[in-house]
Amino acid sequence: MTDSPKAFHIVFLLFDGITQLDFTGPAQVLCRIPGAIVHTAAREVTPIQTDSGFAILPSTNFADCPQADLLCVPGGFGTRDVIEDEITLQFLRDQAAAAEYVTSVCTGSLALGAAGLLEGKRATSHWAYTGLLQKFGATHEKARVVKDGNLITAGGVTSGIDFALTVVADVAGQQLAESIQLSLEYDPHPPFNSGHPDVADPALLALLHERVYRKTLQDLAGIIDRQ
């Protein structure tokens, strides 16, 4: 008879306006770590509205949330509210102080920055917002996954799956990480070669920035500068 694996507590921060794949992509991978227990934490245990038209019910509030072995902050347009919310930022500080891994996906890194957890670190974020990292004393490193000590940050949205597989390999070995990748059939062959600014049509990039990201980028920069 083998001993049960030691509990490995994974805490995801949830907030209104979250990009659901920033959370659900890594969760699908990380939940397969032996002993994994996934907690979804929000200020209150009430439905959290995602960017995809459906809501997620958190499993715990901040006060009752167990200490994370791995803390993960997803991103989304709701990040601008998170970085102004001192209660949420203090929760991140408290959890990060004893976590083995402090992580983010997409603009979740900006929340870590607002909590003072990026100072002097190498980090990344969604490509549209990487220029904001320096405002938190971080150095942007151009990669889908950036590891600096126990801090692991991932780029935009789908990069969260890469980050999660990286963590699995670190925690439980490469063989398990590879088996999870195979079981999920994570073998991307996108139909278009437009998934990063380096390869996208410049006209498309400019259009997307103008229609989607410009105002949010300005809003975030203004909020950060006022802090």
Give the residue numbers marked as catalytic: 106
Residues 44, 129: Cα–Cα separation, whole Å: 28
Taking residue 218's Cβ as centre, other Cβ atoms within 10 Å add up to: 10
